[in-house]
Amino acid sequence: MTTVLDNLAQKISGQLDIIYRDVDIDLDYAGFAQELIELMQISVSVKSPEPYKNHWSEQDIIMITYADSLIQEGQLPLVTLRSFMNQYLGSSVNSVHILPFFPYSSDDGFSVIDYSSVNEAHGSWFDIRAIANERRLMADVVINHCSSRSMWFENFIKGSGTGHDYFFTCDPNVDTSKVVRPRTSPLLRPTMTANGEKHVWCTFSHDQVDFDFRNPAVLAQFVKIFRQYLDAGVTIFRLDAVAFLWKALGTTCINLAQTHEIIRLLRSLIEHAEPNAVIITETNIPNTQNLTYFGNANEAHCIYNFSLPPLLINTLITGNCLHLKRWLMSMPPAQNGTTYFNFIASHDGVGLRPVEGILSEDETDSLISTMQSFGGVISWRSTPDGKQKAYEMNIALVDALKGTVDGADEFGFERFICAHAIMLGLEGIPGIYIHSLLGTNNDYEKLNHTHHNRSINRRRWHQHLLDEHLQNEDSQHARILQTMRKLIDIRKAQSAFHPNATQFTLNVGLSLFGFWRQSLDRKQSIFCISNITKDVQIVPVSELNLIITESWFDLISGDEIDSFNQQLTLAPYQTVWLTNTNE
């Protein structure tokens, strides 16, 4: 009798064949499949994962933070973070994405020295588990590269020991002009080893050395890492920079078929080990390419909606939602078992590649110059023809939205809240950066200290100073956190805001941005309409096609619709969430 485990082994074996068939190695697919299943500790009593199951609901809000975004003298940062969440967020935010909390050498954690340890300066696995016991925990698997100071790379230099054959090397005379990269540094790093000089592939920096997944031992090592993180309470895995995983000379070395198959293989293993685990792929690439990481509901459970941040910011600084509206209309509904991960700000900058083909060059240039006028800085990448092109805009969101293309104005707070009201209503799971919850401004001191553009939006708050701000109701930080929590709590109570609830874009002109959501059981509808300009806008209720046999009201203000002949008056950057009272 064929068991679930037998079927899994057969499936994994087939996936390994797709991945390694063109690699010149002698690999027993069936035997290696069994090894991976054992490394993931999948038992003979395993049940088949339920297909197309949604592992999320409207209750899910993910806060994105570094382990040490908050520091307090005499206390480990992970302890401080946990205390902050319990004191200031309560039940409003039920999930947290703690950015790499491992020992690292650069890139604020994304150059991992040791995947199996917690950075002692942050805390311990005990602290990680304590957070995971209270909130759903999302962690990074930095799967494309590791630190050049890792033991694995030291063994590569020595030519023996674990890791000596983990890294991708290339003849410097080979043509790599087609390779797509997000950085301007040289691709190859000359490194003297016990076996002579080697040129190590470095997609991001020379301190971030790329793995060679053509070696099955690398895949096995990462399966061990996933298992360890599951044991620590991690249930959401963010696959960092995964689009660059597989390299093949003569190609772009991005989004290759083997990369997609490795993600599918990892999902096969993880969902049999933990049925409620979720994989999110971090692929900061043009939108059409990004969508491919859903596969056929057999790859990533969630993909980052990378086009949303630049398009939403562009909408609010221009007062015109044409591109945001067209983009939303073009986005396919995520089938059950998959959804979008929505965000406006993160530890990284606002990527510009996802709006290639959406915004014109002139519109992109205008967006860039406006962000620069608000104190932002720009990061660049090298194109295959050797030119420099803007890759991302580095700026705190509260500063990015403090004005329009005409300059700063008095509507910064309203514009900032409007952006989040739009994001919280959209199909998908909302991710909110801790510095958006706190209304943190550009950190020029850190930028000048590190000379890394992304530092401008990676402030470390001293908890006692933050407490002073948050306990002053008139401070920007307290106002933003209080208003954000109110919006979040309203959102979480609406079944029509389920990440997979129906969504249609409304045709309400270009000065208003609107969409309609309907719950999976069709009992609740919500019309989400935002004034994306600094002028008062009028919305005739008759144009919204509300069902006249039901009564309607705005979830945010509490105002009722008294007559279907009335007009809604929206103040600058005001959002209404109009719902029927049948919920």
Tens digit of pLDDT for each residue in 278-309? 999 999 888 889 999 999 999 999 999 999 99
d(CA 436, CA 352) in angstroms, rounded, equals 20
d(CA 387, CA 392) in angstroms, rounded, equals 15
Residue type, 82: R
In the chain, % of residues over pLDDT 70: 99
d(CA 432, CA 453) in angstroms, rounded, equals 20
Phi-psi group of 319: left, alpha or beta (phi > 0 → left; psi -120 to 50 → alpha; rest → beta)? left
Residue 543's pLDDT is what?
83
The secondary element (H helix, E strand) that includes residue 278 is strand 278-281
Residue 446's pLDDT is what?
95
Q: Considering just the CA atoms, what is the radius of gyration of the chain in Å? A: 24
CA atoms within 13 A on the CB side of 115: 21
Q: In the predicted model, is pLDDT for residue 583 greater than 50?
A: no
Q: In the predicted model, is pLDDT for residue 504 greater than 50?
A: yes
Q: Give yes or no for a contact between 143 and 265, defined as CB atoms under 8 angstroms apart.
A: no
Q: Residues 39-65: what's their mean pLDDT?
A: 95
Comparison of pLDDT for 184 and 495, the residue scoring more? 495
The residue from 127, 240, 348, 443 that is catalytic is: 240
- Band of pLDDT at residue 566, cut at 50, 70 and 90: confident
- Band of pLDDT at residue 12, cut at 50, 70 and 90: very high
At residue 341, φ and ψ (nearest 5 deg) are -105, 110
Q: Give yes or no for a contact between 19 and 40, defined as CB atoms under 8 angstroms apart.
A: no
Strand ranges inside 20-122, DSSP E: 62-65, 70-71, 95-98
Q: Give yes or no for a contact between 177 and 387, defined as CB atoms under 8 angstroms apart.
A: no
d(CA 381, CA 24) in angstroms, rounded, equals 33
Decide: residue 491, CB within 10 A, 0-12 exposed, 13-18 middle, 19+ buried: buried
Rounded to the nearest 5 degrees, what angle is found at the Cα of 499, between the Cα atoms of 496 and 502?
55
Q: Residues 331-335: what's their mean pLDDT?
A: 95
Clarify whether 17 is annotated catalytic: no
Q: In the predicted model, is pLDDT for residue 581 greater than 70?
A: no
Q: In the predicted model, is pLDDT for residue 337 greater than 60?
A: yes
Q: Residues 58-71: what's their mean pLDDT?
A: 98
d(CA 467, CA 90) in angstroms, rounded, equals 16
